[in-house]
Chain A
Amino acid sequence: MKTLVEKHPLAIRWFHWVNFPVLALMIWSGLWIYWANDVYRLGWGNTTLLKFFPQSVYDALGLGHQLAKGMSWHFVLMWVFFLNGLGYVLYTVFSGEWRYLLPTRHSFQEAIWVTLHDLGLSKRPLPARKFNGAQQIAYTAVVLMGLGSVLTGLAIYKPVQLGWLAQLLGGYETARVVHFALTVGYVLFFIVHIAQVVRAGWNNFRAMVAGFEVVES
């Protein structure tokens, strides 16, 4: 017989689906800003493995010559990103949802097992829990990254009035690099996240929208 099992609370679904387009627009407007001084690369000496970004990327996405527009959107949407993220963290703390999300001392070992399973290198079945160790680490890490984006963002937004913060984060230039690296991190998170959602299937995806899973019992 099939039964409906509640999975994701309504509040968490709202926080998730508000965050998705807002973070996307923060990244987009951030690219409008970054274009004006696009100095970062992966490489050493005169060897560049990956330039952020080749001209073709700007051309393809139409990212150039919009610094003022990028800054104005970025400094408006930062409030939505911050308040939504704060709401999410407070909700998980007071509702007890944090118990499912925070990694435990077993999470790292479990994450290796989950990774081997997902790569097809292990036949051992996945742990039957709301969030396995790999998910706990990923979902907690991405919230910490959000906090990192807020703090490094504030440090480069007001480097004198919040000078203590900028110094704590290694100075204005370093804070800017970290702010950018975290953004690359979101994109990598997004790619893995989407791949996993596709693999996990409809029942799992529907739970993030409608809240429940249909379980055979």
Chain B
Amino acid sequence: MLDPIPAEASRRSRRSFLTLGLLGLGGVGGWAWLNSRPAVSGVPGPLRRVLDFNGRLNQAYLKETRLAPEFARSRASTPRVNGRIGLAPPLDPATWRLRVLAYGTDQPHEFTLAQVMALPKTEMITEFKCIEGWSVVVRWAGVRLADFLARYPLATRSGRPANPLSPPADLAPYLSLITPDAQYYVGLDSKSALHPQTLLAYEMNGQPLSNAHGAPLRLVTPLKYNIKSLKRIGTIAFADTRPRDYWAELGYDWDAGH
């Protein structure tokens, strides 16, 4: 005679193991399907959409008043030189100009380093965080991008200064920074661009920037992985949509925000 309990046991086992097997196959199938989706900037489309959702979440939560921690001056050291993209052509400091294209008109305005340095000098000792995972405390000095855009109101269509605490309605939502040779380019949201710790830096650890670290003027912001901290700024422009970004095109998160 058949034992009724083992019969029920094997029936339930069969069903459960089948379900687990299907779950496994579903997982493997889902993985294969996701990897087969057309890539958007180097990342399978569905994954890119989740990354962009994460970025929007970060933007919604981001506040200008939240500051990156600052450190004692004795902690500061020199970061390793990781990226030389955009630095190949020889630099002539005498003829270098910062070009800013006014929002809406794209009319170029040129600034000498002396004009930039005439604005209030801001110092900060912050963690420089590479997307590779290392970080170094660095003492930076430069001009707040917010101060620059308050003095030279090129980020609004109306020509009103870009006050970060009450941003004008016609403030450009995005900023683009490009090296003079256009080999390296970065896109920034205007909230991060106007953050008080986002600098147009000209000094590192008390010395003028070296060529390898982005002379004569570079961007520095602890609000992003420093793939965004473009060296040797050539042109700053404004945009309604997310500008091109060198590393985002190679599969990294566009926002890359901290």
A and B associate: yes
List residues of chain A with CB under 8 Å of any chain B CB: 1-4, 13, 17-18, 21, 33-34, 36-37, 39, 67-69, 71-73, 75-76, 79, 158-161, 163, 166-167, 171-173, 176, 206, 209-212, 214
Question: B76 in the interface, Cβ–Cβ < 8 Å?
Answer: no
Known: A4-B9, A160-B68, A210-B12. A67 touches B61 (CB 8 A): no
13 more A-B residue pairs beyond the given contacts A67-B131, A76-B50, A210-B17, with a C-beta to C-beta distance below 8 A: A1-B5, A18-B23, A36-B132, A68-B42, A75-B51, A158-B257, A158-B258, A161-B62, A163-B66, A173-B135, A209-B13, A211-B16, A212-B9
A158 touches B253 (CB 8 A): no
Distance between Cα atoms of A152 and B73 in the complex (Å): 26
In the complex, chain A residues whose CB is within 8 Å of the CB of B27: 21
In the complex, chain A residues whose CB is within 8 Å of the CB of B47: 72-73, 76
Partner of A68, one of B16, B17, B251: B251
Partner of B16, one of A18, A160, A163, A209: A209
**Sorted from nearest, which 10 A-B pairs have the closest CB atoms?**
A37-B133, A68-B251, A210-B16, A36-B132, A160-B258, A76-B50, A2-B5, A160-B68, A37-B132, A72-B43
Looking across the interface, which residue of chain A has its beta carbon closest to that of B134? A37
Q: What distance in Å separates the Cβ of B193 from its nearest Cβ neighbour in chain A? A: 15
Looking across the interface, which residue of chain A has its beta carbon closest to that of B17? A209
Q: What distance in Å separates the Cβ of A87 from its nearest Cβ neighbour in chain B? A: 16
The majority secondary structure among interface residues of chain A is helix
Q: What distance in Å separates the Cβ of B146 from its nearest Cβ neighbour in chain A? A: 16
Interface centre among A73, A171, A176, by most chain B C-beta atoms within 10 angstroms, is: A73
Q: How many residues of B contact A (CB 8 A)?
A: 46
B58 touches A172 (CB 8 A): no
Could you name 16 residue pairs across A and B whose Cβ atoms are closer than 8 Å?
A2-B5, A4-B5, A68-B250, A68-B251, A71-B252, A75-B50, A160-B66, A161-B62, A163-B67, A166-B69, A171-B69, A172-B135, A173-B135, A210-B9, A210-B16, A211-B12
List residues of chain B with CB under 8 Å of any chain A CB: 3, 5-6, 8-9, 12-13, 15-17, 20, 23-24, 27, 42-43, 47-48, 50-51, 54, 58, 61-63, 66-69, 127, 129-135, 222-223, 247, 250-253, 257-258
Looking across the interface, which residue of chain A has its beta carbon closest to that of B48? A72
Q: What distance in Å separates the Cβ of A31 from its nearest Cβ neighbour in chain B? A: 12
B5 touches A39 (CB 8 A): no
Q: What distance in Å separates the Cβ of A28 from its nearest Cβ neighbour in chain B? A: 11
Distance between Cα atoms of A44 and B223 in the complex (Å): 34
A68 touches B43 (CB 8 A): yes
In the complex, chain B residues whose CB is within 8 Å of the CB of A71: 131, 252-253
Distance between Cα atoms of A198 and B119 in the complex (Å): 70
Q: What distance in Å separates the Cβ of B143 from its nearest Cβ neighbour in chain A? A: 20
B51 touches A160 (CB 8 A): no
Q: What distance in Å separates the Cβ of A127 from its nearest Cβ neighbour in chain B? A: 25
